[in-house]
């Protein structure tokens, strides 16, 4: 019988799932709100309906923004001492930790993530994010530049106002936390719109935030799709800041919404086609291969930072590729509620079909399928895909240039360092990159040459809340995590006093 680290078995999770409370209404102004139509949330685990959820239209978004506006303009939250806001966020972190199993189960059911990853990684990140910003809230300082003796200059940071946060389904709570926590720490109020594929965990988050003592209107959550609820939030004249994580195509819409409304600031964290460069002098080629496999198959490959392009020096390409293929074949794909599952289900049937279309197009263009490439566990009713590796991928092919957002690795080879850098940068994206080398000079020079917001050397997906996260080029702007995230949710004010 399989168990998680706390000895919870698959049967235990199945029993919990039968009685799991799944909120089905918006949370506006401190209370449940059942306005709008309804849509069905389907679990990718087995294709079964999880819940009928209220579907926000323009009216519901208007109510949520109005509540956030009142809470910002007239409520206590922006006027609290930063230490008090920090204590509220720390209380929220504690409550989220207390509800960890419930929230992890909700995430696993609604988007297909393995329960062990949901519990040990996603929920850990969420709790740590609120705790970190709670502890940071009263550590910020303003500035007083040196001026002439007859004047005093003050530069102060003030909360920007009402924040609209739109987050995707692949990390529904982690990415919500990365936006909501710093916005609240800065004194803003928030309207959060989760993906229609994964609204349940965010709706539960809002209710737990109210239990933690956040005043009504400070955190509102509306469930709905992008073309309706997302568009209404992007166009709303009372939203001061819009923070979005998702595809580059949708990010363009939010820039247009801002231009067509009140010129609200828009911060975008968008797609990626991240290169992972392995040089012959990598300190450990086996570890490089294992990390490459983990990076592309973790979270079913549904990650904007996934190292989906493995760039390997031709002298070690076959050795590294074969090691990755061996890892892929050994990976346990299965029920997300089984603690031993290493890769769960893709989020939905349409997405699965898109990923398979990329694989078929790649093979037709001449790539060699080394392993995977087909559906699996079809009898479950879920949306499962075999871990997939293709080599002989050409730099100009769709496999090398388009974001697939699935467990599909494209292997390309190079003969020298300059070629590796050219291949790595030959993309419209610039979110992340990896580099494996034992040479310190090479590590520094290549890291500087790579057009990416984050470069990992001899590792991948490492870091903590002290460092910023975000991209360049068409991977977006602005940064989540770290003290730098607060810059998105604050305004600088200059006060000049003539003495």
Closest by Cα among 287, 223, 215, 257 to 30: 215
Distances (CA, A) of 354 to 271, 348, 383, 402: 16, 10, 12, 12
| Cα(388)–Cα(372) distance, integer angstroms | 4
Catalytic residue among 110, 302, 304, 487: 304
Q: Is 406 exposed, middle or buried (0-12, 13-18, 19+ CB in 10 A)?
A: buried
Which string of DSSP letters, residue by residue, matches 131-171? HHHHHHTTS---B-----TTEEEEEEEEE--EEEEE--SSS
Which regions of 147-248 does DSSP assign to beta strands (E)? 151-159, 162-166, 189-193, 219-221, 241-245
Closest by Cα among 209, 210, 165 to 191: 165
* Three-class secondary structure assignment of 441-486: HHHHHHHHHCCCCEEEECCCCCCCCCCCECCCHHHECCCECCHHHH
CA angle 226, 230, 234 (to 5 degrees): 140
Residues in contact with 256: Cβ distance below 8 Å, sequence separation at least 6, in sequence order = none
Beta bridge partners of 163: 190, 241
Closest by Cα among 348, 20, 41, 36 to 222: 36
Asked if residues 72 and 364 have their Cβ atoms less than 8 Å apart, the reply is: no
Element (DSSP H or E) covering residue 498? strand 490-498
Catalytic residue among 110, 122, 269, 487: 269
Asked if residues 395 and 369 have their Cβ atoms less than 8 Å apart, the reply is: no
269 noted as active-site residue: yes
| Cα(400)–Cα(366) distance, integer angstroms | 12
User: Within 10 Å of residue 460's Cβ, how many Cβ atoms?
Assistant: 24
459 noted as active-site residue: no
φ/ψ of residue 380, rounded to 5? -80, -20
Which positions are catalytic? 269, 304
């Amino acid at each position: 019988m399989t168990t998680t680290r706390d000895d919870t078995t698959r049967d235990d999770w199945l029993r919990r799932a039968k009685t799991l409370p799944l909120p089905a209404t918006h949370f506006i102004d401190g209370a449940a709100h059942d306005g709008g139509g309804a849509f069905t949330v389907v679990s990718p685990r087995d294709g079964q309906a999880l819940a009928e959820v209220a579907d926000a239209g323009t009216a519901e978004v208007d109510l949520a923004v109005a509540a956030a506006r009142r809470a910002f303009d007239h409520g206590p939250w922006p006027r609290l001492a930063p230490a008090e806001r920090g204590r509220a966020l720390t209380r929220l972190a504690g409550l989220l930790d207390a509800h960890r199993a419930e929230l992890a189960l909700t995430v696993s059911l609604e988007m297909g993530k393995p329960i062990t990853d949901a519990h040990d990684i996603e929920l850990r990140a969420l709790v740590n994010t609120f705790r970190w910003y709670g502890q940071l809230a009263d550590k910020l300082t303003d500035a007083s530049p040196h001026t002439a003796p007859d004047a005093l200059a003050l530069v102060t940071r003030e909360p920007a106002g009402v924040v609209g946060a739109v987050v995707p389904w692949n990390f529904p709570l982690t990415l919500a936390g990365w936006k909501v926590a710093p916005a609240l720490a800065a004194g803003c109020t928030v309207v959060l719109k989760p993906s229609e594929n994964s609204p349940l965990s965010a709706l539960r988050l809002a209710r737990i935030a109210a239990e933690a003592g956040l005043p009504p209107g400070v955190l509102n959550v509306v469930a709905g799709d992008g073309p309706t609820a997302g568009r209404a939030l992007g166009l709303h004249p009372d939203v001061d800041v819009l923070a979005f994580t998702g595809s580059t195509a949708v990010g363009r819409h939010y820039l247009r919404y801002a231009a067509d409304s009140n010129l609200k600031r828009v911060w975008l964290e968008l797609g990626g086609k991240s290169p992972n460069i392995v040089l012959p002098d990598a300190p450990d080629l086996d570890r490089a291969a294992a990390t490459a496999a983990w990076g592309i198959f973790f979270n079913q490959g549904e990650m904007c930072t996934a190292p989906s392009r493995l760039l390997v020096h031709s002298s070690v390409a076959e050795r590294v590729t074969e090691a990755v293929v061996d890892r892929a074949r050994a990976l346990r794909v299965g029920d997300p509620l089984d603690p031993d599952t290493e890769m769960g289900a893709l989020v939905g049937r349409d997405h699965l079909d898109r990923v398979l279309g990329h694989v078929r197009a790649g093979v037709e263009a001449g790539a060699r399928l080394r392993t995977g490439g087909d559906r699996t566990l079809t009898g479950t009713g879920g949306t499962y895909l075999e871990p997939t590796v293709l080599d002989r991928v050409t730099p100009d092919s769709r496999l090398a240039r388009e974001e697939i957002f699935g467990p599909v690795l494209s292997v390309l080879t190079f003969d020298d360092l300059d070629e590796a850098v050219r291949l790595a940068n030959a993309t419209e994206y610039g979110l992340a990159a990896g580099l494996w080398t034992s040479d310190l000079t090479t590590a520094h020079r290549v890291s500087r040459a790579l057009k990416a917001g984050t470069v990992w050397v001899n590792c991948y997906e490492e870091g903590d809340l002290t460092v910023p996260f975000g991209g360049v080029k068409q991977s977006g702007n602005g940064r989540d995590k770290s003290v730098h995230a607060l810059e998105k949710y604050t305004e600088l004010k200059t006060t000049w006093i003539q003495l």
